[in-house]
A and B are shown apart, each in its own frame.
Chain A
Amino acid sequence: MTAMPKISRRSFIVSSAAAAGGLALGLRLPFGPEVVRAQDGSPEINAWVVIRPDDTVVVRVARSEMGQGTITGLAQLVAEELECNWSKVTTEYPTPGQNVARKRVWGDFSTGGSRGIRTSHEYVRQGGAAARMMLVQAAADQWKVSASECSAANSIITHQPTGRTVSYGRVAEAAAKLTAPDPKSIKLKDPKDWKIAGKPIKRLDTVDKVTGKQVYGFDLKLPGMLNAAIKECPVFGGKVKSFDAAKVSSMKGVRRVVPVGDTAVAVVADTWWQAKTALDALPIVWDEGPNAKVSSASIAEMLKAGLDAEQAFVGNRNGDAKAALAGAAKKVEAVYSYPYQNHVCMEPMNATARYTPDKCEVWVPTQDGEASFAALLSVSGLPADKCEVYKINLGGGFGRRGAFQDYVTQAVLIAKQMPGTPVKLLWSREEDMRQGRFHPVMQCKLTGGFDASNNLTGLHMRLSGQSILASVRPAIVEKDGGRDALSFQGVFESGEHSFGYTVPNLLIDHAMRNPHVPPGFWRGVNINQNAVFIECFMDELAHAAGQDPLEFRRKIMAGHPRNLGVLNAVAERIGWGKPAPQGRFRGLAQMKAFNSFVAAAAEISVEGGNKVKVHRLVGATDCGYAVNPAQIDRQVAGSFVYGLSALFMQECTVKGGRIVEENFNTYNSMRIAQMPKVESIIMPTGGAIWGGIGEPTICVAAPAVLNALFQATGKRIRSVPLKNHGFQLV
């Protein structure tokens, strides 16, 4: 487990009081800022870097590790500028409480939107560089020479003219007392000169995960801890009417049966199994409310009506699509749909809380330690200095554990009813499947128009379906006149998710239809359905125009060189234009997402009309800069597993207002034998803006396979998952 820094509160408080006193009396403190120390007494050079006497470097990481390799990547960036010995680097999570107390010195903790590296690289690199400058200055001061005559490499400072050396550990104390350099004086290395960053370095967290040493939230054991199992009303929006605690209170190990808010009930017992067994036996009467009548069919009806509705929010517009389509020589129209999906993190939702009126602590796997802290503040009613959250590495996040802290709120509500006792709340798999924050449901009607020479003259893409932000952050939707701009990821008019084609008359709009099922940010968010919709329809258009899918796209991508770059790369690698092996068929797709340009090509075969084998998957990624190429390869491959499992097998249906699929028997995931080795092409082309990696690539595998499927079977599939059409992944 990544250690939590226990900053000596006393030394921090003493130092800030001393500083305040000194300034108030007009005294100059002799050594600049007071030293902040980690719990073992080692000094902070700055908030990002602690150096121990034995030269161990502790890099503070604000974001969360959830298997995406971000803490290693961030440590590489800091270590690169710090010029330290990588073999002695370890990482540590500052707590959200410490971040608040120190005026957010570590900035944003949220780990989502593929932002971990791209939105923090600049300031963490500056943190590493500043620490290096202070260490060098401390050595120079000791030697009474100019810092400009000294260099640093591998945690050793050398005075060039004399060859004198000293290690970081020996000057850390002195460096920690220096004033930080003016940010304007910090020069970051050119990525061309990177020695640690940019290299496929082994991750810092792999060994513990493989040996079982890694502690996850659901492994956590605290002295005196009890275990809780919970059930929330399975019909969203419903409440608890009554429950009969007496029926289970005398069951083995049961300590309490408690309401949790007005929508859930929990059983607290000595062991989790005892809690779950009692909860399963507990009679609960739900007040299901009006949503009990909702079904997948009624939701589909609601969305269908939006496909032809008058009103829609516009996300991309060029020329006059309606006129162009009305006057087109030939039109192609298709309706696609995409279902609700669950994140299915391998580690179900959990949080451990201990509450007293003087202190409330939560231990939780979270993508955003500050969001967990905010939820804790809200539900405990305690001030910030009486609260703390300890981040634990996650057994999967994928967007379920960032914006949504419902399990933290629940754990604290339970712990408040048993002050002083730590309570670990762990959801069963069934509860996790029922109480997801689901990939939103969406339909899409696409209409394309050609002139007499088979040039695409008009395109209308009408989305109809659920807005995530209307539910999760309505203030943002309100500011935008009721529009959820995020619905247009991958097809938007500008920015990090802009459309990768030029069409003279274009209209992309969204009829918002919000069912009662709670939506959330599923890995990739809205690029998953938008990539299926647009990239499969592009193939439909190519087919109608009698053109090769790659050639058809190239003709309308002249203004999109980086999109073309990745598309051409996968086409070349898969051997597009040359015949495929007997019985194999190919498809491709491209998109810009999270400021990265991604493309995929798939080569499949279909046996017996429905058994699909994926033989080859090629992915190309242009993320601007690559901090750890090996990690990018793994993220690409992992995202393809996640995306193709969804494509073939995953759908959450609704009946009686609740989610039907409760476990892996009805919501499966692919197995290793079904997955080819991914051929990953990393082609960073630099630029001013860094691109993300966690999500963008996930969206292109599904349309590439769907397009290949058409070539193989002649059947155009317009709704997913493929199991609904009788297709099996073999």
Chain B
Amino acid sequence: MTSRRNFLIAAGGLAGGMGLTSASGRAHATPEEMQEAVRKVIGTSRVRSGRVKLDLPPLIDNGNSVSLSVAVESPMTPADHVKAIHVFTEKNPLPNVVSVYLGPRAGRANIATRVRIADTQTVTAIAEMSDGTFWSGSMSVVVTLSACLEDGLI
């Protein structure tokens, strides 16, 4: 099955001058833009997979208000703690979702909020540790109606 993005590009005329891009000139974020957004936040450091548990419902009906939580394994001591957690998406209009700044006074690195999920995609959380290392966790979510429109909207 062709991904919707590939289909829209292949359809040519649809992507061409028919108002596919928003006023800002961007249709929606891409995985590349997400990588760029990640680089802006963490620089050129390496990101290791692990220690970060990102939780969202695997199936989403209404993408307007979706529960999201992040828990990072860390003793949260002055010597060893999570400094920040950054959340990114690859297919929302913008790649950044939220950045939270913690410290040893947090006691635990557990945060939760509600987010907008525009499409079936992978969401990623990156934790910045006090020792300068970066760790990530991600989760794939499916937006149920978008799935059925995936193969070409029209």
Judge whether B147 and A489 touch: CB under 8 Å. no
Among candidates A378, A475, A482, A492, residue contacting B119 with C-beta atoms closer than 8 Å: A475
A261 to B147, CA, bound (A): 28
Cβ-based interface call for B103 (8 A)? no
Judge whether B19 and A482 touch: CB under 8 Å. yes
Judge whether B57 and A377 touch: CB under 8 Å. yes
Judge whether A104 and B57 touch: CB under 8 Å. no
Judge whether A371 and B153 touch: CB under 8 Å. no
A383 to B59, CA, bound (A): 11
A368 to B147, CA, bound (A): 11
Among candidates B1, B22, B118, B119, residue contacting A119 with C-beta atoms closer than 8 Å: B1
Beta-carbon contacts of B10-23 to A below 8 Å, as 1s and 0s? 01111000111111
For A492, list chain B residues within 8 Å (CB).
Answer: 154
Cβ-based interface call for A83 (8 A)? no
Cβ-based interface call for A436 (8 A)? no
Stretch at the interface among A108-116, A172-180, A301-309, A411-419: A108-116
Judge whether A368 and B57 touch: CB under 8 Å. no
Judge whether A374 and B60 touch: CB under 8 Å. yes
A492 to B11, CA, bound (A): 12
For B14, list chain A residues within 8 Å (CB).
Answer: 485, 493-495
Beta-carbon contacts of A372-388 to B below 8 Å, as 1s and 0s? 01110110010110000
For A482, list chain B residues within 8 Å (CB).
Answer: 19
A482 to B145, CA, bound (A): 18
Q: A313-B19, A497-B154 are in contact. Are A115 and B148 (CB under 8 A)?
A: yes
Judge whether B151 and A370 touch: CB under 8 Å. no
Docked complex: B85-130 residues within 8 A CB-CB of A:
93, 118-119
Cβ-based interface call for A473 (8 A)? yes
A464 to B57, CA, bound (A): 38
A115 to B144, CA, bound (A): 14
Cβ-based interface call for A314 (8 A)? yes
For B144, list chain A residues within 8 Å (CB).
Answer: 110, 368, 370-371, 374, 403
A486 to B20, CA, bound (A): 13
Cβ-based interface call for A550 (8 A)? no
Among candidates B19, B142, B145, B148, residue contacting A104 with C-beta atoms closer than 8 Å: B142
Judge whether B11 and A374 touch: CB under 8 Å. no
CB-based A-B contact count at 8 angstroms: 108
Q: A378-B62, A481-B22, A488-B154 are in contact. Are A476 and B148 (CB under 8 A)?
A: no
Judge whether B154 and A374 touch: CB under 8 Å. no
A483 to B144, CA, bound (A): 21
Cβ-based interface call for B75 (8 A)? no
CB A401 to nearest CB in B, in angstroms, measures: 13
Among candidates B13, B58, B67, B148, residue contacting A112 with C-beta atoms closer than 8 Å: B148
Judge whether A374 and B118 touch: CB under 8 Å. no
Count B interface residues, CB 8 Å: 37
CB A373 to nearest CB in B, in angstroms, measures: 5
Cβ-based interface call for A96 (8 A)? yes
Among candidates B13, B28, B63, residue contacting A494 with C-beta atoms closer than 8 Å: B13
A269 to B119, CA, bound (A): 40
Cβ-based interface call for B47 (8 A)? no
Residue ID in chain A nearest B148 by CB atoms: A110
Count A interface residues, CB 8 Å: 45
Q: A112-B148, A119-B151, A378-B57 are in contact. Are A475 and B63 (CB under 8 A)?
A: yes
Cβ-based interface call for A479 (8 A)? yes
For B67, list chain A residues within 8 Å (CB).
Answer: 381
For A472, list chain B residues within 8 Å (CB).
Answer: 145
For B118, list chain A residues within 8 Å (CB).
Answer: 475, 478-479
Residue with the highest number of chain A CB atoms closer than 10 Å, among B55, B59, B118, B148: B59
A375 to B12, CA, bound (A): 35
Cβ-based interface call for A208 (8 A)? no
Q: A488-B154, A493-B13, A495-B11 are in contact. Are A384 and B57 (CB under 8 A)?
A: yes
A67 to B135, CA, bound (A): 51
Among candidates B13, B66, B146, B153, residue contacting A486 with C-beta atoms closer than 8 Å: B153
Judge whether A384 and B63 touch: CB under 8 Å. no
For B153, list chain A residues within 8 Å (CB).
Answer: 476, 485-486
A313 to B61, CA, bound (A): 27
CB A591 to nearest CB in B, in angstroms, measures: 14
Judge whether A478 and B93 touch: CB under 8 Å. yes
Cβ-based interface call for B50 (8 A)? no
Cβ-based interface call for A147 (8 A)? no
Cβ-based interface call for A270 (8 A)? no
Residue with the highest number of chain A CB atoms closer than 10 Å, among B57, B67, B93, B145: B145
Cβ-based interface call for A496 (8 A)? yes
Beta-carbon contacts of A76-96 to B below 8 Å, as 1s and 0s? 000000000000000000001
Judge whether A473 and B11 touch: CB under 8 Å. no
Residue ID in chain B nearest A367 by CB atoms: B148
Q: A378-B57, A478-B118 given. 10 additional CB < 8 A pairs?
A: A370-B144, A371-B59, A374-B59, A378-B60, A384-B58, A405-B61, A479-B28, A493-B14, A493-B18, A495-B154
Q: Could you tell me which B residues sit within 8 Å of A by CB distance? A: 1, 11-14, 18-23, 27-28, 55, 57-63, 66-67, 93, 118-119, 142, 144-149, 151-154
List of 3 A-B pairs having minimum Cβ-Cβ separation, nearest first: A374-B61, A481-B19, A374-B59
| 24 A-B contact pairs sorted by A residue (CB < 8 Å) | A104-B142, A110-B147, A113-B149, A314-B19, A368-B144, A368-B148, A370-B144, A371-B59, A374-B60, A374-B61, A377-B58, A377-B59, A472-B145, A476-B146, A478-B93, A479-B22, A479-B93, A481-B22, A483-B18, A485-B14, A485-B153, A493-B14, A494-B11, A495-B152
